[in-house]
Structure 1
Amino acid sequence: MERQTVLIVDDSELNRMMLMEILGEQYHYIEAQNGREAVRLMEKKLTVDLMLLDINMPEMNGFQVLEQMNRFRWIDEIPVIMISTDETNQAIQQAYAMGVTDYIRRPFDTFIVRHRVENTLKLYANQKRLMYLVSDQIREKEENSNLMVGILSHVVEFRNHEGGDHIRNIRSITELLLRRLVEKTKAYHLSEEDIALIKTASALHDIGKITIPEEILNKPGKLTSEEFAVMKTHAAAGAVILEQMTFGQEKPLFRYALEICRWHHERWDGHGYPDGLRGERIPIAAQVVALADVYNALTSERCYKKAFDHDTAIAMILGGECGAFNPLLLECLADVSPRLRITSHVPLDGDPYRLEVNRLSDELLARADLPRNDRVQRILESLQERIDFFASCSGGIQFEFDALSGLADITNWDEPPQYRHTVKNAAHPECFCRLSQKDFHRLQEAMAATTKETPEFSVSLLLPCGTEHHWCDLRVRTLWSDRQPEHYVGAVGQLVDPQLSVKKPLLLSAADVNTEDGTLALAAEMRRLRMVFDVVRLVDPTTNSVLELDEQGVLHPNGSHCAAFWDNGRSCANCISSRALAQKTTLNKLEFTNTDMYFVISKYLCLNGMPCVLEMLSKLSEGRWIDANGTRLLLDHSRAENMELFMDPLTNTYARRYFESYRSHLEGMEHVAIIDVDSFKQVNDAYGHQTGDTVLRDIVAAIHSCIRSTDTLIRYGGDEFLLLFPKMDEHIFVRKQNEIREAVRRIVIPEYPELHLSVSIGGVSGVHPLAEAIRQADYLMYENKEKYYTEGEHVTPPPKMEENIKIRDK
């Protein structure tokens, strides 16, 4: 039997140990030393059977934890027993008001704690079993009911020689139309239950065909007027069959089935049969099934005709070739047309009973006051997540992709309103035809690297824009199921062309400066710009030259190499100014020196017939820029996040959580190193944890003294560090590793001068993805560590524990 899980939230390790000792080994325990840690655990996975919660804790106290649990409805899923020394009525009343199941005072009474925990777990376990039992019974009844409907409809299909998909398709199309209808109007008062019943009843729409002679039913050619008159009787005959039933006629399902059977061939203009009903006199259930039946008949092969393609069928229906339908329903059909293209011949949902089971079980649980799933709350939060994402973006092309349907809803804000919105099938080759194979694979890899914890990434893509190609920035956020945390459900994103987003030129146009007066005006403009930017210069990327304007406005090289500014004696890879010159436009990007980072704007100009580029450079000092694999993201201050959550409090460098949160943005780093402190356990054992903390802080300081501000150091484990270099020559990368080793060897701990420190380093270059680079670097690091031990280079063995205690006592 699987052990139940108890989450103990208390800042006192002694209290946590006492509680586990009292409760024994029959439970699985999870510990949290403060409220914030407990909330993080619950955010990751709701698999806790009981929480024991203290009130007075640092960072977030017990009542603040209860506030969060009530906010996200976790209190309905997890019973809470409050444990505290506070015996005031106010504290006890507040705890019960916020949903706790019980309140136990300290000091602990073993008998009381053990039995109250057992009773609470039994109560909630019984409630959960009841919930699952009820859900299973509802599901079984629904399956039996739908099975009987399926058998009856299959009898009709078999006799009519129709494909087995006919009824399934009618149900799927009916549901699509109904859901779009309730989104557009509330006039028909259709609830979730009504939609499920109409969908089920639609399977019986042609049951009257069992009364039609088979030679008419399956005639391959056109029916005569007499034969067609017989065929039309199936609608009324189906209604008669249902009316002769001696039970169930008071049920809503029966009413819908009767309406659909009799009137699914009625038409909006009164020219249908059998009763010639007109307009809204036709029940809405029959109207919807009639439209679904016509579309499916057109797109399916019959003994008397070939199948029409989707677009032709839609055009025929909207053009009135198949009779008159409710104009509002025709709008619904047009709206769902993109989804019909790919879903009309496949099940809309892998579990056809899911919606009804959820509805009935939720209703029952609400009446019984049992723990219930916060599905609606999570749906609203998912919608809010999408809204917040889109609100943070401006302009460009925005899209929302649904993984179930495979469709992408695309909004191009640069188009006129009537052409702004489109829906595309992501499985169609044309959807990504503008991407090169290389960029398409980069996009696939970036998508595959996302998780629920790190859902967002950014890449730069080279896309055609008219007769030119522009570098465009793509930002994507993947969406994940709350019921199945590992299940990817879609994505939202934005594509921006930085060149098109600039509404007016930053300076005089190229034509304006192509005169003597214009050249002098440019010289004056450059003097003004130097008051704004850190560096303003003219360059010729074809010769890697920096250019100057003399007093007469003549442009000539000044003898400097333009790449020298970037600590690079040769041409820059992916030079932004070269692209701006080739495309005769304005571009921008991030660029790095060995110590600093700059935002670069490159503008094409033509001076007296000589093409060149105006570069404007702004040094960045706030936050940390990540520029890997085309990704541009300003972390820290720019994202308005509390960076304390991502910092290691001991070493004041980035923590493992930082790596997990921004992992997709760190993809593409050119150089990756793993650093591990040698003999660190021996240092802790012999000199104490306080000295161990000092060692880690000094080692981090030594590493920082050897790297650039653009490099990223992360405390990856206890004494293991991950070091990432975005742009650097490989020989410099090797030199940096040696510099770090030497810097660590020079560390002196004043209290223990005999303590000599060292680190083992493994580094790789040009390995992707990042996970593989880390794996290879880790392997090399352990190879170096083995060499370190076998060659006897490790630190001088510390004195024995007894001697060391004496040293520390002095």
Structure 2
Amino acid sequence: MSQISQNNKLLHIRSNILAIDDDPLVRKYVESVLKPIVSNVFLSENGLQGIEMLEKMFDDIDVVIVDLMMPVMDGFEFVKHVRKRFPGQKPYIIVLTSKGEEDTIAQCFELGANDFLTKPISGKLLQIYVKKALSIANSIDPGLLLEIPLRLLGTRDKYTLFHSENVKMYTSVLTKILLTKSEEGEFSQELPISSQKNIIELETAALVHDVGKIAVPDFIWQKPGRFTPEERNLMKLHTTYGAVALERLLNKYRNHLLKLCYEATRWHHERWDGKGYPDGLKEREIPITARIIAIADVFDALTTKRIYRDEYTPEEAIEIMKNEEVGHFDPEIFQIFLEHERLFASIAKSRLTSQLKEIEQTN
């Protein structure tokens, strides 16, 4: 049996989708695109009708695709109601947005949505996103094991854990934008993703990019002030510490997930002009995984509160990044990031508010 046939068979074991949109043409389009890869596609014309269907079929629905702007009950109220009525991450919710609705995407994430797609909907991207959602809904991802050291690190420093989760979020969003641009012929580079599994793997790589910090002494990365040159050199070792651990696994298990994690861990501090570390790679010598994560990493580092300084506003952070962009980031990817700066700023504000609240509750 071919790999494609095996994947489709796996998805059909349990793959029920609920699509909610007030436009019958959109509903039928979603149904026609997804029918070849899932068991059933159930259709609803507004959020209230979707809630009623979920009440009856909750155990059977794995993924919900919901439009934001609808009569009777819109997508915002739907997501809010579902997460309140059915605590947890089931079902996986993908919201449909229109271009220019950056602020609404952040609001959806805060309410509990898992992902978003921008209209007009690409059939190929819709299939990729739904396959990713089904992989998460119906299996335990081996990549979760790589998160264990990070979660342990988070018990000592919540800021590091939050930073890693934020970098995962920004990397995921930026990668999906690049994927859309690539589909439209507006992005020239080859992305390290060709399936739903690859998207999950890239998100895992972004999450564990700083895992090497677990080998750096606490007095270094928890220091309430600027580093001395010697301390900065010690901190820089977190890239190689993490990479060495992953390299041993990679040599034993040739695996795409481990490869992406290795690239993210070792090279997320490299620079386009070759002045980064640890290896001084430049331009496209740096794997695209690390070039994407580098932008997410710097943006979150600036917008996250540190022991030695308060956070910058997202707008301030973006200005700082623009000023140092020459030589730091991949210019093509960074320009696309800037085209969607309102989206990233909105997500940053939303996540900062919720994370500061969580820190206050645990103190």
TM-score (norm: length of structure 2): 0.55
- Aligned residue among 268, 272, 276 for 2:276: 272
Structure-2 residue corresponding to 1:191: 194
AA aligned opposite 1:307: E
Q: Which has the larger radius of gyration?
A: 1
Question: Aligned Cα RMSD in Å?
Answer: 3.7
Structure-1 residue corresponding to 2:163: 166
Structure-2 residue corresponding to 1:702: none
Q: List aligned pairs for 1:276-675, cutoff 5 A.
A: 276-320=280-324, 324-344=328-348
- Give the Cα–Cα distance (whole angstroms) in 2 for the partners of residues 160 and 244 of structure 1: 27
- Give the Cα–Cα distance (whole angstroms) in 2 for the partners of residues 145 and 75 of structure 1: 28
- Aligned residue among 242, 249, 257 for 2:246: 242
Q: Which consecutive residues of structure 1, in runs of 5 or more, have no partner in the other structure?
A: 1-42, 47-67, 79-127, 348-810
Q: Secondary structure at the match of 2:317?
A: helix
Change (3 A) 1:237 1:226: same
- Give the Cα–Cα distance (whole angstroms) in 1 for the partners of residues 33 and 291 of structure 2: 40
AA aligned opposite 1:151: I
Change (3 A) 1:299 1:244: same
Change (3 A) 1:285 1:337: same
Q: Secondary structure at the match of 2:262?
A: helix
- Give the Cα–Cα distance (whole angstroms) in 1 for the partners of residues 162 and 330 of structure 2: 26
**How many Å apart are 1:245 and its aligned residue?**
2.5
Q: Is the 8 A contact 2:154 2:160 kept in 1?
A: yes
- Give the Cα–Cα distance (whole angstroms) in 1 for the partners of residues 291 and 319 of structure 2: 19
Q: Is the 8 A contact 1:149 1:203 kept in 2?
A: no
- Give the Cα–Cα distance (whole angstroms) in 1 for the partners of residues 261 and 217 of structure 2: 23
Change (3 A) 1:243 1:185: same
- Give the Cα–Cα distance (whole angstroms) in 1 for the partners of residues 301 and 150 of structure 2: 16
Change (3 A) 1:243 1:157: same
**How many Å apart are 1:214 and its aligned residue?**
1.1
- Give the Cα–Cα distance (whole angstroms) in 2 for the partners of residues 276 and 227 of structure 1: 20
Q: Is the 8 A contact 1:264 1:289 kept in 2?
A: yes
Q: Secondary structure at the match of 2:249?
A: coil
Change (3 A) 1:180 1:219: same
- Give the Cα–Cα distance (whole angstroms) in 2 for the partners of residues 320 and 255 of structure 1: 29
- Aligned residue among 173, 176, 179 for 1:176: 173
Identity %: 30
**How many Å apart are 1:152 and its aligned residue?**
2.5
- Give the Cα–Cα distance (whole angstroms) in 2 for the partners of residues 195 and 75 of structure 1: 22
- Give the Cα–Cα distance (whole angstroms) in 1 for the partners of residues 227 and 301 of structure 2: 16
Structure-2 residue corresponding to 1:19: none
Q: Which consecutive residues of structure 2, in runs of 5 or more, have no partner in the other structure?
A: 1-23, 41-59, 62-130, 352-363
Structure-1 residue corresponding to 2:118: none
- Give the Cα–Cα distance (whole angstroms) in 2 for the partners of residues 181 and 136 of structure 1: 19
AA aligned opposite 1:228: R
Structure number with higher relative contact order (C-alpha < 8 Å, ≥ 6 residues apart) = 2
AA aligned opposite 2:162: D
- Give the Cα–Cα distance (whole angstroms) in 2 for the partners of residues 336 and 321 of structure 1: 16
**How many Å apart are 1:196 and its aligned residue?**
2.9
Change (3 A) 1:75 1:305: closer
Q: Secondary structure at the match of 2:253?
A: coil
Q: Is the 8 A contact 2:303 2:312 kept in 1?
A: yes
AA aligned opposite 2:316: T
**How many Å apart are 1:250 and its aligned residue?**
1.2
Q: Secondary structure at the match of 1:250?
A: coil
**How many Å apart are 1:226 and its aligned residue?**
0.9
Structure-2 residue corresponding to 1:201: 205
Aligned residues: 231
Structure-2 residue corresponding to 1:150: 147
**How many Å apart are 1:174 and its aligned residue?**
0.4
AA aligned opposite 1:191: S
Deviation by residue 1:172-210 (Cα, 9 ceiling, x = unmatched): 100122122231314214424433321121111111111
**How many Å apart are 1:149 and its aligned residue?**
3.6
Q: Is the 8 A contact 1:270 1:277 kept in 2?
A: yes
Change (3 A) 1:72 1:147: closer
Structure-2 residue corresponding to 1:219: 223
Change (3 A) 1:283 1:75: closer
- Give the Cα–Cα distance (whole angstroms) in 2 for the partners of residues 196 and 135 of structure 1: 7
Q: Secondary structure at the match of 1:245?
A: helix
Change (3 A) 1:140 1:311: closer
